[in-house]
Structures are given as C-alpha cells and as structure tokens.
Structure 1
Amino acid sequence: MTKEEIIILYQEKFGKETPEVYTAPGRINLIGEHTDYNGSFVFPGAVDKGITAAIHLNGTDKVRAYALDLSEYSEFGLNEEDIPNEGWAKYIFGVCREIIKRGGKVEGFDTVFSGNVPLGAGMSSSAALESTYAYALNDMLNLGIDKFELAKIGQATEHHYVGVKCGIMDQFISLFGKKGHLVRLDCKTMEYEYFPFDPQGYKLVLLDTQVKHELASSAYNKRRESCERAAAAIRKNHPEVQFLRDADMNMLDEVKNVITEEDYMRAKYVIEETQRVLDVSDALKKGDYETVGKKMYETHEGMSKLYEVSCEELDFLNDIAKKSGVTGSRVMGGGFGGCTINLVKDELHDKFIEEANTQFKNKFGYEPKVYDVVISDGARKL
C-alpha cells in the first residue's frame, strides 16, 4: 500500500489531519535453522513485503487503532489492565507497554495499518507489526531508543502479551534489514555482519504448502530439550561448551554412547548447520551462488532426516526443485509445514513454478502459494 493510499484511508477513519507513515518488513532466513536457541548463527534478510501504518498523536491517553485488512477497530488505554481483546491489537499494546516499562513516555494516538506479508508463511508478519510501531513511536516521540532495544521491545511483546517465546531474529531483521544484503547474526554474542546478496540471474521464491501440522510447538520444545541434553553431556568433557554451537563432531562422537540416538541426531544437525552458515558466508563474499544452493539442499536433508521437522508436502516440493534444476531449496522456518525457500535461475523460474503447481496439485489436491521476494530495507519512515 502506498503512503498516499494509507493517508486517505486514515483520514476517512479519523479526520483531516495528515498522519506520519511508517513501514517495517517481514523476512526470509536463507540458512541457519533451529540454530538460534543453540547459540549459533542465523542468516536472515528483510523482504519487500511488510506492514505500513499511518499514525497521528491524538492528545489523549488512549490508542484508537484500525486494522484495514480485517476491518476491525480497537480502542485501549496505556495501563497494564487496559489490554485489548483483539489478538492483533495486543501487539500494538505490548509495544506501548514495553516502551513504558523502559521509562519511555508514550502518548495516545490514532492509527490505521495494512500489511502484505502472507500470514502463516513463516515470514513474520507479527514482527513486522511490532517493529513498525516500535520504530514509529521512538521516532515520533523522540525517545532515543537504539534499534537493538527496539528489537527487544518487539520480542518482549511476544513473550509477555502474546504468549510466544520467540527468539530475537524476526524483530532484529525487521529493524536492521538492508536492501541487497543479508545479515549474519550471532545469537550467542548478538554481533552481526552484512553480506552482499544480489544474485544477478537468480530469483528467490517461496512456495507455501499452506500446511501447518499440529506437532509444531510440542515438537519444537522436544528438539530444544534434545539439544540441551547433548550440550550438557559434551560439557562434562569440555567445560567451555555453553551451547551446541561451541561443539564439534569429535566432541559429539565422544558422548555418542551416553546420549540417546535421537539426541545424537539432533545435535549432529545443529553442528553441521553451524558449519553450513559459515560456508555460505564465504560463498556470498565471492558471489558463489552455486555453493549457496548446495548448502540449502544439505540443510533440507538435515532438517528432514536428522532433525525430523519436515513433512511430506515440504519434501515433495524440495524433490521437484531438485529435479527441475533449481540451484537451492530447503524448508524455511520451524518446519512441519510452511514454505520452501528456493534459489532459482531466471530462465528456469516459470517452468519450475508450473511443474511445482501441477505436480503438487496432482498429489495433494491444491496448488501451493507462490511468493517471489526481493531483499529490501528494514523499518523506516516513508
């Protein structure tokens, strides 16, 4: 939605004043999956799809918010007991409360927002929403909060007001994203580095299975516990190993007989995935997208066979990608449904999409959703 369009819609709802307009993006993660809680690396990029909001201070202590895409209105105060009923409004309320808890002064405002981040596709529409309002309020009220703290405000909103114990990656990249670059974030030290990502002659395409298997949250917790047990076993021999990220395969093999086969497989995946992220870092510096693609396939294989978080639909799409000559393909996100992310040569793009749609429909009865994405800038004022 353009700046002009959202201003008109705001004025239809709230009156003639001209609001400020802010936007923040959703994201992809090229490689580095289930690594964040293991103190390792993730490799996200902001995308050209996000949330756009028109905002104007209203001189009261109330927030009046309208979600255009849902045609829903919510009004709430800024005290802890004022938490709204609407799920989407809890994100805006949570951001306000987390700023207040940190000593920031938040005033009432009127706002209208709209988004084009596909819901449920693992592109983090919720982080885009949090980042839009955190960035906007910080800017409009001259709060002087740095971007890292704004990311933590978004993360704390999820923890305290939405009930999702997420990591920091989604909010981080929504704020720190940079056009033509991916960011390698070290989840142990919070150090980050920009890497050029401008694959001439390739497209990034997401294929959304539209599947969300119920397993996801309980299985996520189980994987996490597996990794923690493996790290604890290694730590007995190597006290310096705080997370699996600090271990290597030799260390893991030393404890192979004292941990379960399942814990061994999960840990093996994480240790190998850490190395793949470093390999992709080197490849991106050289503009070597063939190696990037090869590592993406290896990640899919690891997530499917060792970490066991893929599903029939995702494996099927990965297989079609391989047969169609796609450079790289893997499940993106937690698994058990969602999208594959695919690095596709321009000349193969249309044929690949056609094949994927046809074969997937023949097998599962419907076509996957297709999203072409371009790596773009993070949160900003329009």
Structure 2
Amino acid sequence: MDIEHVRSRFIKHFDGTTGAVYASPGRINLIGEHTDYNGGFVFPGAIDKGMIAEIKPNGTDIVKAYSIDLKDYVEFGLKEEDAPRASWARYIFGVCREMIKRGVDVKGFNTAFSGDVPLGAGMSSSAALESTYAYALNDLFGDNKIDKFELAKVGQATEHNYCGVNCGIMDQFASVFGKQGSLIRLDCRSLEYQYFPFDPKGYRLVLVDSVVKHELASSAYNKRRQSCEAAVAAIQKKHPHVEFLRDCTMEMLEESKAEISEEDFMRAEYVIEEIQRVLDVCDALEKGDYETVGQKMYETHHGMSKLYEVSCEELDFLNDLAFDCGVTGSRVMGGGFGGCTINLVKEELYDTFIQNAKDKFKEKFGRSPKVYDVVISDGARRLV
C-alpha cells in the first residue's frame, strides 16, 4: 500500500493541502468455513494488503470522495436521502450514516482512497474500506469514543443497510482487530475472541486464485444454511438445549440420522467436524506444530468438496496439485464455488509449487491463476 500515491492524488483533486491518512487490511481465514452461521468459530487474520484513505474535514456538510483506482469522483450529503448511486460510494456513505446513528458528529470531508486488496479473491476489500472510514471518522469526529467492537459492527451494518449484503461480522472484525504475527479465534456466538501466535518460520502463506466465480453461490449458500437448520431441528427433539450445530456432537447427529435427509446429514457432519478442526488448529499453533495445521487444512478442503459440496473443479485441481507438490496445507478459502485456495508452503518448495500451479492450471483450464503472497499484519490504524 502506497501512501505517497494516495497523497499525490489527494493534493491534485482537492485544494492542494493534505489531511490525515488511515489504513485497514483485507483478511484471510486460515480455517473455519461455514461455521459462522452455525454458532461456531472462525480463525481469520489481517493481511499486508488493504485500503489507504486520506481524509480532511472541509467545513461543509458535503462529502467529496475520489476513488483513485476507479478514477471516479462523487459528492454526497450526510442525510439518509442523500445516498449516492455509485456502489463504491455507498460504502463510505453507509459508514457515515452508521457513525451518526451512534452519536458521532460526522461533518463533510474530502477524501481520496486506493487499495491493493484484489477484488473478488475473497480477501474482503469491502470490509477493508468500511473499517478504514469507521476508524478515521471515529478519530476525526468522535474523539475515539466508539470502541473497536462497535467499529466492526459499523462496517457490518453498512453492508446490511446500505449495500444489500447480509454478511456476518468476521471480515470487519479481522480488519479492525488484526495483529501482526497473530490469528484471531472468534466465537461467532458470544463474540469472544483470542489471539493465537502465527509465525510460520520456514513457511510462506500464499493464495492461488482460480479467477473463477460460479453463479450458483448465493442460492447454494442459502440451501446449505437450510440443511444445517433442518439437522438442528431434528437433533433438538432429543436434545432441547441444542441451539446451533456448534452444540452438537457426531453422536447426536448419528442418533437422528433416520429423521434427516442424506444431504442434510452430510452438511451437518462437515460443520460439526469443521468446528472441532478450528480448535485443533489453535492447539497445534500453541505448540508451533504447523504440520498438523496443514493436515487440518486438507481435511477442511475434503469436507467442503465432498460433504458440503461447495468446491468446484478448478479448486479441487489446485488442491490436488498442492498435495502432489508436497505443500503442507491447502484448502478452498471462503464460501466456495470459485475464488482462491490458501496454501501453507515450505520455503524450499515454494518456487516449484507456484510454477507447477501456473503451468498445469493453464494447460487444463486455458488461463493462468493469480498468485498472492500474504503476511499476517496489523488492523485499522492511522498512518500519518
């Protein structure tokens, strides 16, 4: 992320003066997929790619915003009826409105922003944008009166209320709470969280982007949620205390097998096992055991591919290729049906693996995958 680039554009598009500069990261999720809406755990970390924004109050009630990457300029007021049409500007507008609802006296400002979170690769560029502005507005207009948790909720509420996306809290949480050299285990039911050391010396973390997005993602996602709810409803007949699959064991699921469709059983089996895998990975990291971490990543991929059925040919191909190249851990990252695999690779195997992934993927699918190295980094902050 390049402060100088943002600053030069800010000076050029506004009155030649400078403001304060803020940044927030995108995120990866090492393990814990489709566990959030089942009351389980996720295990994200902030990365060294994200959004940078320069912001300066302008003494009016109008926000003047320039997207450096899209070369697009928008002005909007701060009342509910002032919502801009441009989808990127709605994120900034939404954050302003959510901060105002929480008692922050947001006034007009000039801003220019840019990002290096790859769009569509599942690293959460929108959460990085929301967290940047939530943190900045709290700093500039709120005298830091809103705590970090509420800042993450501001981003989530922006998605729900202004962008039409009914997302969980993980992306914004990771963007605000990120810490260099640590991953965060977030309990999606209680919102309690704990940092775990992630400093894999001798390994690299790399995303291989299949550059494919299959269309059925949203309808399939809703169907998976319904399967999980159906399994819980069946288990509740004998175990009334059960609220989510997080409360269930495989034994409970087995004893309700007759009342659950085969498909719903498979979906629930994946989730129950995945929630346990997150806990196993946390234990392994406390011992510095990255081999076990990698093994659990492969188990997750297998579960997402065969039990939850949210993988696709391209991702399975990349996962098999990683295994054949001796990569320590690999799995599809995100909701599935396209996007990236996340790979934990020994330094000495890295070059061979990447070369192989590019060559063999292109040979099979006629296009090259994109490759992103990521380093676990800090969350939302003021830079200048």
Q: Deviations over 1:157-207 (max 9, x none)?
A: 000111000000000000000000000000011000000000000000000
How far apart in 1 are the matches of 2:163 and 2:220? Answer: 20
Question: How far has the Cα of 1:232 moved from its partner?
Answer: 1.3
How far apart in 1 are the matches of 2:251 and 2:111? Answer: 55
Q: Deviations over 1:135-166 (max 9, x none)?
A: 00001111500010011110010001110000
* Residue correspondence of structure 1 range 126-137 to structure 2 within 5 A: 126-137=126-137
Q: Which residue of 2 aligns with 1:330?
A: 331
2:10–2:112 contact (8 Å) kept in structure 1: yes
How far apart in 2 are the matches of 1:151 and 1:70? Answer: 25
1:104–1:143 contact (8 Å) kept in structure 2: no
* Residue correspondence of structure 1 range 131-210 to structure 2 within 5 A: 131-141=131-141, 142-210=143-211
How far apart in 1 are the matches of 2:155 and 2:234? Answer: 34
2:6–2:68 contact (8 Å) kept in structure 1: no
How far apart in 2 are the matches of 1:169 and 1:11? Answer: 34
Question: How far has the Cα of 1:2 moved from its partner?
Answer: 2.8
* Residue correspondence of structure 1 range 226-265 to structure 2 within 5 A: 226-265=227-266
How far apart in 2 are the matches of 1:50 and 1:381? Answer: 13
How far apart in 1 are the matches of 2:57 and 2:326? Answer: 53
Q: Deviations over 1:335-371 (max 9, x none)?
A: 0000000000000000000001111000000110000
2:23–2:380 contact (8 Å) kept in structure 1: yes
- 2:90 is aligned with 1:58: no
Question: How far has the Cα of 1:9 moved from its partner?
Answer: 1.5
Question: How far has the Cα of 1:266 moved from its partner?
Answer: 0.3
Question: How far has the Cα of 1:118 moved from its partner?
Answer: 0.2
- CA-based RMSD: 0.7
Q: Which residue of 1 aligns with 2:43?
A: 43
Q: Which residue of 2 aligns with 1:375?
A: 376
- 2:353 is aligned with 1:352: yes
How far apart in 1 are the matches of 2:359 and 2:227? Answer: 38
2:312–2:338 contact (8 Å) kept in structure 1: yes
Q: Deviations over 1:312-352 (max 9, x none)?
A: 00000000000000000000000000000000000000000
Q: Which residue of 2 aligns with 1:118?
A: 118
Q: Deviations over 1:283-321 (max 9, x none)?
A: 000000000000000000000000000000000000000
Structure 2: gaps spanning 5 or more residues: none
Q: Which residue of 2 aligns with 1:225?
A: 226
2:321–2:357 contact (8 Å) kept in structure 1: yes
TM-score, normalised with respect to structure 1: 0.99
Q: Which residue of 1 aligns with 2:34?
A: 34
Q: Deviations over 1:22-71 (max 9, x none)?
A: 00000000000000000000000000000000000000000000000000
Q: Which residue of 2 aligns with 1:304?
A: 305
Q: Which residue of 2 aligns with 1:93?
A: 93
Q: Which residue of 1 aligns with 2:77?
A: 77
2:68–2:112 contact (8 Å) kept in structure 1: yes
Q: Which residue of 2 aligns with 1:320?
A: 321
1:358 is paired with a residue whose SS is: helix
Q: Between the two proteins, what is the percent identity of the paired residues?
A: 72
Question: How far has the Cα of 1:100 moved from its partner?
Answer: 1.2
How far apart in 2 are the matches of 1:7 and 1:72? Answer: 16
How far apart in 2 are the matches of 1:273 and 1:68? Answer: 40
How far apart in 1 are the matches of 2:210 and 2:7? Answer: 35
Q: Which residue of 2 aligns with 1:363?
A: 364
2:46–2:376 contact (8 Å) kept in structure 1: yes
Q: Give the aligned residue type for 1:297.
A: Y
How far apart in 2 are the matches of 1:318 and 1:96? Answer: 41
1:50–1:125 contact (8 Å) kept in structure 2: yes
Structure 1 segments of 4 or more deviating over 2 A? 1-5
Q: Which moved more, 1:94-103 or 1:174-183?
A: 94-103
Q: Give the aligned residue type for 2:279.
A: L
How far apart in 1 are the matches of 2:6 and 2:221? Answer: 38
Q: Give the aligned residue type for 1:321.
A: A
1:106–1:137 contact (8 Å) kept in structure 2: yes
How far apart in 1 are the matches of 2:42 and 2:111? Answer: 33
TM-score, normalised with respect to structure 2: 0.99
How far apart in 2 are the matches of 1:225 and 1:267? Answer: 10
2:35–2:275 contact (8 Å) kept in structure 1: yes
1:257 is paired with a residue whose SS is: helix
How far apart in 2 are the matches of 1:7 and 1:241? Answer: 53
Q: Which residue of 2 aligns with 1:294?
A: 295
> How many residues matched?
382
